[in-house]
């Protein structure tokens, strides 16, 4: 069993527990539930940099990346740097995040927020909306075509953008459907944690232009982005590269200024 399989087993248990504690009616009563969302896909189409900066304390592959910043410091730094959007990891067990991080981010910035989570249930999409997210992530590796369809349509009905993450051609082929806004290619093999930009390059031509193309993971240099732009990529998700520094916002500013 690989790390992704373990995370999904734990996530399904977590969702069952949360459903028993917090009813849907409570989520729907949140002040953010009726809030107009901001479209990241639209912002990426219009942007020159395309940077989606990530708030991430740790990961299964790197353990602790950075615990010394507050969420507010990080996300305000990213917004000031000119990021198009911010990804907030909300998984607790493996990434040290929480829905409170998303709430704090929403209270601090006015740019699109992605709830970065292992979504397996509509309930988590309601949570995302209730905590101020503008878009959700769906991971093709852990969902069937039917699940991707029902979850993405559910999110769209709530006014959320949908970013679908793929790792290979098989996942891409099974996933393409009108209820997605963005297709992200993860350059990290979730089974081996090996990272290569070749994943993004190889799949680029197979992603229809109706979708905004996003490259995720392993992007640590301006050169990498310049290498990927000719392949049609408009979005670039960067987490560890900024978070591992002493000042994530400043690191993002310097990076974006070089683009």
Torsion sign over Cα 25, 151, 92, 11: positive
Assign 68 a pLDDT band (cuts: 50, 70, 90). confident
**Domain residue limits, the chain:** 3-257
- Please tell me which residue in 216, 234, 240, 241 is annotated as part of the active site: 216
Residue 191 pLDDT: 67
Pick the catalytic residue: 59, 186, 187, 241?
186
The whole-angstrom separation of Cα 19 and Cα 137 is: 20
191 catalytic? Reply is no
73 classed as catalytic: no
pLDDT value of position 64: 84
State residue 135's pLDDT score: 98
Q: Any catalytic annotation for residue 54?
A: yes
What's the rounded mean pLDDT across residues 157-165?
Answer: 98
Mean pLDDT of the chain: 96
Write down the pLDDT at residue 189: 78
For position 130, what pLDDT does the model report?
98
56 in active site: yes
Average pLDDT value for residue range 168-179? 97
**Percentage of the chain exceeding pLDDT 90:** 90
What tokens appear for 125 in the block?
């999409």
pLDDT reading at 71 higher than 80: yes
CA angle 61, 65, 67 (to 5 degrees): 135
pLDDT digits (tens, 9 = 90+) for 194-239: 899 999 999 999 999 999 999 999 899 999 999 999 999 999 999 8
Per annotation, catalytic residue among 43, 56, 213, 234: 56
Q: Radius of gyration (Cα) for the chain, nearest Å?
A: 17
Q: What's the whole-model pTM score?
A: 0.97
Which of 11, 43, 116, 213 is catalytic? The answer is: 116
If we measure between CA atoms, which residue out of 84, 6, 97 comes closest to residue 50? 84
Which residue out of 200, 217, 240, 241 is catalytically annotated?
217
Q: Mean pLDDT throughout 104-125? A: 98
* Kind and range of the H or E run holding 254: helix 248-258
Give me the count of residues in the chain.
259
Question: Can you tell me the distance from the alpha carbon of 189 to that of 246, in angstroms, rounded to the nearest whole number?
Answer: 28
Q: Assess contact for 189 and 160: CB atoms under 8 A.
A: no
Each residue's pLDDT tens digit, 30-58: 999 999 999 999 999 999 999 999 999 99
Amino acid 62: pLDDT: 72
Mean pLDDT of 64-77: 91
Task: Decide which of 3.30.450.40, 3.30.1490.20, 3.40.50.1950, 3.20.20.70 is the CATH code for 3-257.
Answer: 3.20.20.70
The verdict on whether 213 is a catalytic residue reads: no
Whole-number pLDDT of residue 239:
84
Residue 186 has pLDDT above 80, yes or no: yes
Q: Region 118-139: what's the mean pLDDT? A: 98
Determine contact, residues 84/116, Cβ cutoff 8 Å. no
Q: State yes or no: is 216 an active-site residue.
A: yes
**Catalytic residue flag (residue 47):** no
DSSP 3-state assignment of 225? helix
Q: What is the pLDDT of residue 20?
A: 98
Q: 214 has which bridge partners?
A: 184, 235
């Amino acid at each position: 069993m690989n790390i992704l399989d373990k995370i999904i087993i734990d996530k399904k248990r977590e969702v069952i527990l949360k459903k028993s504690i917090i009813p849907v009616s409570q989520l729907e009563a949140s002040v953010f539930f009726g809030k107009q969302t901001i479209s990241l896909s639209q912002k990426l189409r219009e942007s020159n940099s395309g940077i989606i900066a990530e708030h991430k304390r740790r990961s299964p592959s790197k353990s602790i990346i950075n615990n010394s910043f507050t969420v507010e410091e990080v996300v305000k730094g990213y917004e000031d740097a000119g990021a198009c959007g911010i990804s907030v990891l909300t998984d607790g067990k493996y990434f040290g995040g929480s829905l409170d991080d998303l709430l704090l981010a929403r209270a601090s910035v006015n740019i699109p927020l992605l709830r970065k989570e292992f979504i397996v249930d509509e309930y988590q999409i309601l949570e995302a909306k209730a905590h101020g997210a503008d878009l959700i992530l769906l991971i093709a590796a852990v969902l069937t075509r039917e699940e991707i369809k029902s979850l993405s349509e559910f999110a769209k009905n709530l006014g959320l953008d949908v970013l679908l993450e793929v790792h290979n051609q098989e996942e891409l082929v099974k996933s393409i459907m009108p209820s997605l806004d963005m297709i992200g290619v993860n350059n990290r093999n979730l089974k081996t944690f090996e990272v290569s930009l070749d994943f993004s390059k190889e799949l680029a031509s197979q992603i229809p232009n109706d979708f905004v193309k996003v490259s995720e993971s392993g992007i640590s240099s301006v050169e990498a982005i310049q290498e990927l732009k000719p392949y049609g990529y408009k979005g670039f998700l960067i987490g560890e590269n900024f978070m591992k520094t002493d000042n994530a916002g400043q690191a993002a500013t310097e990076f974006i200024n070089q683009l």
